[in-house]
Amino acid sequence: MTDRRILARRFEAERPRLRAIATQLLGSAADADDAVQETWLRLERADAAGIDNLAAWLTTVVSRVSLDLLRAPRRKREHSWQVQPWRDEPVAEDADPADLVARSDRVSVALLVLLETLSPAERIALVLHDVFGQSFEEIAVVLDRSPEAARQLASRARRRVRGAEEPAQPDRERGRRIVDAWLAAAQDGDLGALLALLDDGAVLHADYGTSTQLLEGARTIAEQAVLSGRLAAHSTPILIGGRPGVAAVMGGRVVSIMAFEISGDRIVGLDVLADPARLEALGVQRVVG
């Protein structure tokens, strides 16, 4: 396998499978593309003539790259932007998380929340084995552990995911009530109502792509919300990584999403994503509405 053109053609044939693996492991199409590109770069640097099974080699490498990305600190905020329309009905209690993944090329919000409770190694073991049918011997190579250790990781992950519960219905109802109250107050320019919803120490983080913004304190955030009343008038409640949120839709396009962090009956944090490139990469337009 020394001809680079042949190698490139074989890699392209494997790309859809590698991207599917990375997407399920990472929960982000953009990160999955990065992982697949890094896999190609490593293949270019490798001694291709010494690779007996290219498909297995590529699976191992893309999984290792995904593991590195899962462990990277920057992913903490990236994973919050998994979006779906707000539905009041809970996920069926007997739903198998692996089945949820296998039924869709996008990680569902419910599953993503459950997977986020796992360590990176547990997540790799569960998804590679239960979804993609990798043997524990193959997974052991990715994780640099014994096959038995990989089996135990998958077993522990399976128990944790199946034992996880959806947020209690009262919490879901409270979140929806606060989101609805926020939108109504912002549309009406009701500063007092907004202040009543916000904790005094609330913080807002916003990513506009070309710039970022940090607002601290209830009054500062409330005043900004009043100025953004037009967006509120075009917004709809959604779930973002299991958190209450809103999506602003202008001209048929999602122009921003905002996730709420709620403690008790007060909003303590707001995360805004208004970067067009990231919104497009996340496929938000396909899941909102």
113-149 pLDDT per residue, tens = 556 667 889 989 988 998 888 999 999 999 999 999 9
Question: Would you say residue 104 has pLDDT above 60?
Answer: no
In the prediction, which pLDDT does 153 show? 92
Residue 180: pLDDT band by 50, 70, 90 thresholds? very high
Interhelix angle for 4-26 vs 29-45, to 10°? 150
Report CA-CA distances (Å) from 184 to 117, 190, 242, 248. Answer: 34, 8, 22, 14
Could you count the other beta carbons within 10 Å of the beta carbon of residue 87? 11
Decide if 141 contacts 56 (C-beta within 8 A). no
Residue 13: pLDDT band by 50, 70, 90 thresholds? very high
In the prediction, which pLDDT does 170 show? 54
In the prediction, which pLDDT does 163 show? 56
**Cβ neighbours of residue 142 under 8 Å, at least 6 residues apart?**
60, 63, 64, 67, 124, 128
Question: Would you say residue 89 has pLDDT above 70?
Answer: no
In the prediction, which pLDDT does 84 show? 63
Kindly report the three-state secondary structure assignment for every residue of 1-19.
CCCHHHHHHHHHHHHHHHH
Give how far the C-alpha of residue 152 lies from the chain's centroid of Cα atoms, to the nearest Å.
25
**Average pLDDT of the chain to the nearest whole number:** 81
* Residue 151 three-state SS: helix
Closest of 56, 69, 55, 57 to residue 25, by C-alpha: 69
Joined together, the tokens standing for residue 43 give 């293949």
- For residues 263 and 106, the model is more confident at 263
Distance CA(261)–CA(185), nearest Å, equals 18
Task: Determine the length of the chain.
Answer: 289
Element (H, E) at 200: strand 198-207
Greatest distance between any 2 Cα atoms in the chain: 70
pLDDT tens, residue by residue, 218-263: 999 999 999 988 889 899 888 876 778 898 888 778 888 898 989 8
Question: Would you say residue 59 has pLDDT above 90?
Answer: yes
Share of the chain above pLDDT 90, in %: 39
Strand 266-273 vs strand 198-207: parallel, antiparallel, or unpaired? parallel
Average pLDDT over residues 193-218: 92
| pTM for the structure as a whole | 0.50
pLDDT tens, residue by residue, 14-35: 999 999 899 888 877 778 899 9
Using only C-alpha atoms, what is the Rg of the chain? 21
Distance CA(259)–CA(20), nearest Å, equals 27
Decide if 176 contacts 244 (C-beta within 8 A). yes
In the prediction, which pLDDT does 111 show? 55
- For residues 163 and 213, the model is more confident at 213
